[in-house]
Amino acid sequence: MPTDAPTDTSQRTHDLVIAANRLPVDRVVDADGTQSWRTSPGGLVTAMEAVMKGREGAWVGWAGETGEAPAPFVENGLHLHPVPLSQQEVTDYYEGFSNDTLWPIYHDVIVPAGFHRSWWQAYRTVNERFARAVADVAAQGATVWIHDYQLQLVPELLRAMRPDVRIGWFNHIPFPPVELFAQLPWRGGILEGLLGADYLGFQRSADAQNFVRACRQVLGLTTKGDTVTVPGTGSRRARVVRASAVPISIDSAGLEALAMTPAVQERAAAIRASLGSPKVVLLGVDRLDYTKGIRHRLKAYEELLAEGAIKPPDVTFVQVATPSRERVAAYRQLRTEVETTVGRINGQYGELGVAAIHYLHHSYPREEMAALFQAADVMLVTPLRDGMNLVAKEYVTCRHDEGGALVLSEFTGAWHEMHQAFVCNPHDIEGLKQTILRAIHTDAKDKRRIMRALRRRVSEHDVQLWAKRFLEALATAPERPSAKDRATS
């Protein structure tokens, strides 16, 4: 069988194929037992809907249930191709290698990474399955857009199967400095996997530079600016791979329209009233992840309470912590620590009917999130490391009244675009406390000026622009080294 032809010719093929660990749908079961799929809301789906309009693109990913995968289906105009994962693969490839090896290494080793050869083996096996699934649905010369750290081997595996397709990969999380990346026993294999792409997109130029440097230092390849030259082998020609920054964003027009609806505005007022109409509402919204700096935020808040710098019921703090990766030990431990701290703070500083912290361990619909953002005077975004952080962009987008203040960690990708925010280093608890107080007490007129600038930045750089820029960079990425590069490599 020729390697460049789809293996299942009965299947129709697509000019644009997205591959991500998860399909953008969840199975819902009604009260009467009827099952259907619901598109999961989110920026990626919105961005992809925009680029797929009129192109009938396909999306390859896991449907979220172990065992046999459902047959391909169409939902909301998207052609979805489920990839099966066994329970053991979810444990080893997803919870293990992706979230307990790569995630800590790519986030400054905030917790130690686990290294297990069986996890790496499962990661390879699953990446091969994804590559095969993409090869099967990609039309001749198709554009393939692969997402994130779970699928770093897919570019090269796919290139070997389908040299005719154009391959791009986008990293939603940071790419670590080579000193940390080099800890990975499989560092060479990962870089080689990524170098199968024509174009690699990162959140920040520092991430792209880290990748290029790793190629030079770990693989000894020739690099120049934002490009890496991959030498030819056997029948394969030498290629040039480009790596640069294309920061992700949100569907700002869609979210702003939602935030402006009377229902959301009424709900925002109702939230404030239910909190006892405090003068200042502080808000944190995060997946319950150790990268998000929730413990540091709580420590700063507790010290401000202890010092009497802020006092409930005038000031209150709402922390929304979405359940996340609860089968990974570091996440279970974080949850215990956060919940113990919240209990201690409320026990010490709360009164009957007056909580010092409102802690919500749930997922909410978009409308409720928009109302929460509008109800918050100060948004606390304090990650120790974060690829981008969409919450920061969502918050300013929901503040169409130009009210509110954003405290933003300098270790987020978002900070590189949102310099006007109240910047903080979450490791510096004293500094974080002062920044929170400044965000509370700065003159309303100055805060409005800051908010206006932040809002302009996000509305002019939305998720549709991100997708357009990524696809343009992929379409124009160099294929072969120039004569000059060949002479120097």
Residues 6+ apart with CB under 8 A from 276: 313, 316, 353, 354
**Which residue number, 362 or 445, has a Cβ lying nearer to ligand ADQ?**
362
> Does residue 458 touch ligand ADQ according to CB under 6 A?
no
Whole-angstrom distance, CA of residue 66 vs CA of residue 54: 32
- Residue 73 near ligand ADQ by CB under 6 A: no
Least Cβ distance, residue 209 to ligand ADQ (angstroms): 18
| Contact code string over 264-303 relative to ligand ADQ, x by CB under 6 A | ---------------------x-x----------------
Structure tokens of 68? 């046999």
Query: C-beta of 266: minimal distance to ligand ADQ in Å?
Result: 20
Residue among 240 and 467 whose Cβ is closer to ligand ADQ: 467
Is it true that the peptide bond before 313 is cis, omega within 30 degrees of 0? yes
**Residue 158 has which token pair?**
């796919």
Which is nearer to ligand ADQ, 161 or 271 (by Cβ)? 271
Instruction: Tell me the chain's radius of gyration from C-alpha atoms.
Output: 23
User: How many residues interact with ligand ADQ (rule CB under 6 A)?
Assistant: 18
Q: Is there binding between residue 61 and ligand ADQ (CB under 6 A)?
A: no
What single letter denotes the amino acid at residue 24?
P
**Position 48 contacts ligand ADQ (CB under 6 A):** no
For ligand ADQ, which is the closer residue by CB, 294 or 320? 320
Question: CB-wise, 162 or 325, nearer to ligand ADQ?
Answer: 325
CA distance 288 to 106: 17
CA 277 to each of CA 13, 440, 477: distance values in angstroms, whole numbers, following the listed order: 56, 16, 54
Q: How many angstroms separate the Cα of 270 from the Cα of each of 263, 274, 318? A: 10, 6, 14
Site residues for ligand ADQ, 155-174, by CB under 6 A, read 172-173
Cβ of residue 376: shortest distance to ligand ADQ, in angstroms? 13
**How far apart are CB 460 and ligand ADQ at their closest, in Å?**
18
Which DSSP string do the residues of 9-74 spell out, in sequence order?
TTS--EEEEEEEEE-SEEEEE-TTS-EEEEEPPSHHHHHHHHHHTTT--EEEEE-S-SBSPPPPEE
Q: How far is the CB of 384 from ligand ADQ (least distance, A)?
A: 12
CB of 111 to ligand ADQ, least distance (A): 15
| Number of other residues whose CB lies within 10 A of the CB of residue 250 | 26
Binding of ligand ADQ at residue 205 (CB under 6 A)?
A: no
- Amino acid making up residue 470: F
What's the closest the beta carbon of residue 149 comes to ligand ADQ, in angstroms? 10
Q: Can you say whether the dihedral through the CA atoms of 193, 477, 173, 386 is positive or negative?
A: positive
Question: Any idea which residue has 């953002």 for tokens?
Answer: 373
Output 143 or 203, the one with its CB closest to ligand ADQ. Answer: 203
Q: Per CB under 6 A, does 60 bind ligand ADQ?
A: no
CA angle, residues 97, 100, 106, in degrees to nearest 5: 90
User: Binders of ligand ADQ among 385-424, rule CB under 6 A?
Assistant: 386-391, 394
By the rule CB under 6 A, 80 interacts with ligand ADQ: no
DSSP per residue over 325-389, as a string? -TTSHHHHHHHHHHHHHHHHHHHHH-BTTB-SEEEE-S---HHHHHHHHHH-SEEEE--SSBS--
**Residues in region 330-389 near ligand ADQ by CB under 6 A:** 362-364, 369, 386-389
* Angle, CA 99 vertex, CA 332 and CA 44 arms, to 5°: 110
Nearer to ligand ADQ, 160 or 263 (CB): 263
Q: Which are the contacts of 305, defined by CB distance < 8 A and separation ≥ 6?
A: 311, 312, 345, 348, 349, 356
To the nearest whole angstrom, how small is the minimum distance from the Cβ of residue 247 to ligand ADQ? 9
Question: What's the token pair of residue 290?
Answer: 């150790």
Q: Where are the beta strands (DSSP E) in 132-270?
A: 138-147, 166-170, 199-202, 222-224, 227-230, 239-245
Task: Please say which residue, 69 or 474, places its beta carbon nearer to ligand ADQ.
Answer: 474
Based on CB atoms, which residue is closest to ligand ADQ, 173 or 334? Answer: 173
Closest contact distance (angstroms) between CB of 171 and ligand ADQ is: 9
Least Å distance between CB 370 and ligand ADQ?
9
Residues 232-261 that bind ligand ADQ (CB under 6 A): 248
39 touching ligand ADQ, by CB under 6 A: no
Binding interface with ligand ADQ (CB under 6 A): 172-173, 248, 285, 287, 320, 322, 362-364, 369, 386-391, 394
